Structure 1
Amino acid sequence: MSVVPFGTSGSGPVRPVPARRGSRLALPVVLGLLALPLITAAHHSRPAPYGDHVSVHARVDAGAADPGLRTRGRAVEAYDRATGRPRWTYRREGARPLALLPAPEHAVTLWDDGLVTDTVRADGSAVRWHRAIPGSAAWLRTPAARGAAGVLNRLDPRGRMLAVVTPQRIAAYRSADGDLRWVLPAEPGCVFEPARSVRHRDALMVAQPCGDAATPWTSQLIAVDDLGRIVPRRTPLGNELPGGGLGDVRTGAEKELASHR
């Protein structure tokens, strides 16, 4: 009996059988279908920006009144004023809310990692913006911060401008988009005390104690509004959204005290 080597026949080498065209096309399709669950899982496992987690608990009808706001544990909770039922809950990984500032359509929150956020107040459908307050995280965790009393303030009755007061500076942000409009640093040797701030008509009065006994008391109290520090002969600063028609002109004195992006 003759032995036929593997891959050959009695009449010569065996030629490979050509693959069908359909099978060539099917292989990439099958591999794609197998990879789809992995791609979907990777998409859902991506961390939320800034550690945000918003849970909506109740459907909100158009035109419904803004809900009340409160902190509960490590979360911000919006609730129906009539029933007390929660509408939405907002958490951030590794952070705890310290202060809330309710404004029409806005829910502004200060967190203990030095971040300020603005959430759509009616239904929690979006976190509009996040802003980090420079050099504030360490101070917010000290007893001197007193639970961040007075750090968040409205600079106008409608809440279109927000002031964040820390010992080193006062920063003003446009509520609509979080745009930084001006910054007022404390005088050398002085600090702002957010807890010792009070509104008087359209002005926010903030204590600015100084270590120098020779500093007059008038320099240890400042007044600001949505345009910056209140000084004589100011030229209005336009804080509206682009296209609003207001200019962005300041006096020389204001340029020394306020800067914006």
Structure 2
Amino acid sequence: MSWKPLRALTRRSVLPALAAVLVLGAGAAAHANRPVPFGDRMAEPGGADASPVSAQSLNTGQLELKVGPGLEAYDRTSGSPLWSYRREGATALYLAMAGDSAVVVWDDGMVTSVRTSDHEVRWHRAVPGLSEWLSGEGDPGAATRTDVERRQIAVQRATAALQPVIENEPGVAVVTPALLMVFRDRDGDLRFNSRPLGGCSYDPLRAVHTDDAVMVPRICGGTNGSGHPLPGGITGIRLDGQGWQLNAGPQVLLQRLDGHRVSIDDGPIVGHRIFDTRKGAPEPACGGPTVPFAALKPGTDCPAT
């Protein structure tokens, strides 16, 4: 058996190894100092510092959640701060619960889901056009608004934009005048998205949600071929993908009655009806042809109004 003695290290042989070490070190330093995705900053227990943008406060389990610069959590019993979640360069405007998650709308158009049990950020989703609508860019008179007015409008619109659904598979719908998107909370998966018909827009300020669905009025401008104004409508969607389109006037008013029923008031001509989002259909009117005897006491198929 033959063997070769170890070769003495020379300057030429040391340089490649030294260069490799320097490259690895620089890569590690860059990795350690790279910007946090989406500007996330989570403060440890005791590091919360809330200065709420709005008076919104939600109680969930042992936590009281508030909207401040970010999402602030407090102990419900003692009132002491527990943790604080912020995003660099963004301000939280509104939060809603989807199952066990707190879903937050930010002024830069981002929507974030945070699991409250361990304050883990689960997902972020950017919604096209949301930040512009929240800020009121392009509104008549926008240039003359004060900072307080701009903030009030942003909070009001963020409240309307975020519509949670909690039954079976929790999730949220995000509504802007030009777009409707529905996300599953478990993984942030996009389950549905829709744009209104040409010449029409959604009206988030009149949108409502039940436990399993979201209903959004549509406004349509212009006229049809006969010169009559284009009718409005209502878009309804469930997280499981089932949806429907309802005819309605431009001033239709929606009101949530309970976990599965929505009141639809469409003016003196079309009238009033109740829509069941679980069945995806209007409820029969009391005393109508679907009710054989008017003397029967109204039940689940014929609610008293």
Question: Given the two structures, how large is their TM-score scaled by the length of structure 2?
Answer: 0.56
Answering whether residue 77 of structure 2 is matched by residue 67 of structure 1, we say: no
Matched residue, 1:193:
203
Alignment equivalent of 1:53, drawn from 41, 65, 68: 41
**In the alignment, which residue of structure 1 is the partner of 2:160?**
150
CA distance 1:31–1:201, shift in 2 (3 Å): closer
Give, in whole Å, the separation in 2 of the partners of 1:26 and 1:37. 17
Match of 2:217 in 1: 207
Aligned pair 1:97/2:92, yes or no? Answer: yes
Structure possessing the higher radius of gyration over alpha carbons: 1
Residues 29 and 55 of structure 1, relative CA distance in 2, 3 Å threshold: farther
1:222 equivalenced with 2:213 (yes/no): no
Give deviations 1:217-250, integer Å, cap 9, x for gaps.
xx33332222242259xxxxxxxxxxxxxxxxxx
Aligned to 2:130: 136
1:123 paired with 2:137, answer no
Q: Hey, what does 1:237 align to over in structure 2?
A: none
Structure 2: unaligned runs, 5 residues or longer = 1-6, 47-59, 137-149, 223-227, 247-305
- Residue 67 of structure 1 and its aligned partner are, at CA, apart by 2.4
Q: Residue in 2 aligned with 1:3? A: none
CA distance in 1, matches of 2:100, 2:8: 60
**Unmatched tracts of structure 1, length 5 or more:** 1-19, 59-63, 233-261
Deviation at 1:104, TM superposition (A): 2.8
Instruction: Give, in whole Å, the separation in 2 of the partners of 1:23 and 1:86.
Output: 61
Question: Taking every aligned residue pair, what percent have the same amino acid on both sides?
Answer: 38
Q: After TM superposition, give the deviation of residue 34 of structure 1 in Å.
A: 9.2
- The residue type paired with residue 214 of structure 1 is P
Q: CA deviation at 1:38?
A: 6.6
Residue 81 of structure 2 corresponds to: 86
| Residue 184 in structure 1 maps to residue 194 in structure 2 | yes
Are the counterparts in 2 of residues 190 and 209 from structure 1 also a CA contact under 8 Å? yes
CA contact (8 A) 1:65 1:122 kept: no
Q: Which runs of 4+ in 1 moved over 4 A?
A: 20-41
Q: Is the 8 A contact 1:197 1:205 kept in 2?
A: yes
Give the Cα separation in 1 of the matches to 2:201 and 2:209.
Answer: 19
Answer yes or no: is 1:106 the counterpart of 2:94. Answer: no
1:166-198 per-residue CA deviation (whole Å, 9 max, x = no partner) reads 111111111111111111211222211212122
Instruction: Give me the whole-angstrom Cα distance separating, in 2, the residues matched to 1:71 and 1:159.
Output: 25
| Superposition TM-score, scaled by structure 1 size | 0.65
Task: Give yes or no for contact 1:119–1:128 (8 Å, CA) kept in 2.
Answer: yes
Q: Is the 8 A contact 1:99 1:109 kept in 2?
A: yes
Contact 1:173 1:182 in 2 (8 A): yes
Q: Shift of the alpha carbon at 1:84? A: 2.0
Distance 1:45 1:154 in 2: 36
Matched to 1:52, the amino acid is D
**Comparing both chains, which one has the higher relative contact order based on Cα–Cα distances under 8 Å and sequence gaps of 6 or more?**
1
3-state SS of 2:207 partner:
strand
RMSD: 3.4
Residues 168/231 of structure 1: CA separation in 2 closer, same or farther (3 Å cut): closer
